[in-house]
Amino acid sequence: MRFKLVVISAITPLLFVAAGCSSMQDVVTAKNEGTSETYPVTKEQAWEISKTVFRWEGCDAIEEHRDQGYMLTSSGFNGYSMGTVMGAWVDRVDANHTKVTVVTKRRVKTNMFTTLTETTFQKRFAEAVAIEKRGEPLPVSPPSE
């Protein structure tokens, strides 16, 4: 009886976590739930800025699906989150305007926080656009607040 209790106690949390995990595919299917903004940049500029913002925010490797207009990335565990899976879509509006949609999901759905929010991504993206409009190169590190 005691052995069953130990096994059940060990397996239950693992099942709970596994059942509540978000994957990259969850991000892809959630595109229409993401946060979108249109910026006065070309599609190529928006693509590069999106990668820069993800790097500024400490994301892992970026998986580019340029032919389909989106990129995926993730971030790992830190002091307050088990990590985040995220994606950005870059859609041309016209020659000089691009719509950028971002989706972020907690890797473990029971976490209260993500390592990067959609609002923060869009805020950082707007900062990067302003830097480019001044004719300056995008810095390796994020601009200070």
DSSP H helical ranges for the chain: 2-19, 24-29, 43-56, 118-133
Question: Would 139 be classed as within a structural domain?
Answer: no
Mean pLDDT (the chain) is 82
CA–CA dist 145, 82 (Å, integer): 25
Give the chain's length. Answer: 145
In this predicted model, which residue has the larger pLDDT, 56 or 3?
56
Give per-residue pLDDT as tens, 55-70.
999 898 999 999 999 9
Question: Would 31 be classed as within a structural domain?
Answer: yes
Residues 6+ apart with CB under 8 A from 23: 85
Q: Looking at residue 29, what is its pLDDT?
A: 79
Q: Looking at residue 16, what is its pLDDT?
A: 42
- Domain membership of residue 30 as a residue range: 22-133
Residues 6+ apart with CB under 8 A from 83: 74, 75, 76, 77, 106, 107, 108, 115
Q: What is the CATH number of the domain that holds 110?
A: 3.30.310.220
Question: Would 2 be classed as within a structural domain?
Answer: no
CA–CA dist 65, 71 (Å, integer): 5
Domain count for the chain, please give it: 1
Question: Would 49 be classed as within a structural domain?
Answer: yes
Residues 6+ apart with CB under 8 A from 49: 41, 125, 128, 129, 132, 138
Question: Would 83 be classed as within a structural domain?
Answer: yes
Question: Would 8 be classed as within a structural domain?
Answer: no
